Amino acid sequence: MHAYGTFAMYVRSAYITASVQMAQSVISRERRLESWENIPELAAGVFRRKPNTPSANFPLPDNISTLERMHAVSITKPRQRSYLWLLGFLFLLIFLALTLPLVNTIVNTGTQTAQTENEGQCQFTTRRFYTQQEAFTLALAAQEQRSAFPFGGNYAIGSYTICYKNETQQRFPSPPAKGYDNLTDTTKPINATHSEQAVYNWLQHQFTHLSIDRSSVQGIYVVIFSQVRVCTACREDMISWQRTLRQEAGVTNVFLSIWDLNPGFNPATYPAGPPASVTFGELERVPIAFTP
């Protein structure tokens, strides 16, 4: 698709160049015709045709020869043909200028659709997954959520991508989850209402309802992103998360990574997000020693 768009742009450029060259050729020819008009047509007296006046509307004197008459009349015919060529190429140029952008738009739309259908970071050649790029995608989504719905607590979001052996992939993002300290339910820990915990609960539900041919799976890659630094209590809980997700999915090749921001920001101070947009370099992988 990208090659076809490039070819369309090349064709348009070639037609524009050709049209400019033709226009220059026509102008040069017109100048030569003007020089012929300035040559005396008759030995006795001077006769010049009025510019742009058809010979039929300007009768020639009776005392000129037939050859001179033919020469005077023929001056207008090349000019008329030149105008027709010029108008034709200008029309073609306008037509291409209008249609080629439309073709390019269609090509780009098709390319974007294909990228959406194959969205994910599976690297089939190296049999790996681009986890940091996926984390950055989630970070941008969380930032957009916070901008639309300001909140004094944390936002976390996750995704899992199934990479198949036939080099296809499916990506499933979670809804953004709000997080805050549990200060009401004394039967649960303070981090029970943290947003990372909500994303993990969503993942568990998803994995217990997977409807796939597990023999066709190369790997399932899970990424969780938190806008606020992951607390110590959550880090301790996360040690068993990868093993649990493998059991619930019925697939041994489930790989979990968890990311946050360094240095991050305080949502209480910036409920709509910090002034500066998140950058790729701010992402930091949370060091978790997952149980096998």
User: Does the residue 291 lie in any domain?
Assistant: no
* H runs (alpha helix) in 118-152: 131-148
User: Per-residue pLDDT tens for 8-29?
Assistant: 454 455 545 555 565 565 455 5
| Domain edge (last residue) among 86, 117, 148 | 117
| 74 and 6 inside one domain | yes
Most confidently modeled range among 46-50, 106-110, 273-277: 273-277
| 197 and 184 inside one domain | yes
Q: Determine the pLDDT at residue 92.
A: 73
| 166 and 48 inside one domain | no
Record the tokens describing residue 106, joined without a space. 């269609």
| 107 and 133 inside one domain | no
| 270 and 133 inside one domain | yes
**Quick one: CA dihedral 84, 85, 89, 95, positive or negative?**
positive
- Report the range of poorest mean pLDDT among 106-120, 121-135, 193-207, 242-256: 106-120
Q: Where does the pLDDT of residue 99 fall: very low under 50, low under 70, confident under 90, or very high at 90 and above?
A: low
| 98 and 12 inside one domain | yes
User: Does the residue 292 lie in any domain?
Assistant: no
| 92 and 156 inside one domain | no
| 137 and 101 inside one domain | no
State the total domains in the chain. 2
Domain span at 197:
122-285
User: Per-residue pLDDT tens for 43-60?
Assistant: 444 444 444 444 444 455
| 65 and 95 inside one domain | yes
Q: Where does the pLDDT of residue 3 fall: very low under 50, low under 70, confident under 90, or very high at 90 and above?
A: very low
The answer for residues whose C-beta is within 8 angstroms of residue 219's C-beta and 6 or more apart is: 122, 127, 129, 163, 253, 254, 255
pTM for this model (two decimals): 0.60
Q: Determine the pLDDT at residue 148.
A: 97
Closest CA to 251 of 160, 166, 133: 160
Residue 142 has pLDDT above 90, yes or no: yes
| Higher pLDDT among residues 95 and 242, named by residue | 242
Q: How far apart are the C-alpha atoms of 100 and 105, rounded to whole Å?
A: 9
| Domain edge (last residue) among 51, 82, 117 | 117
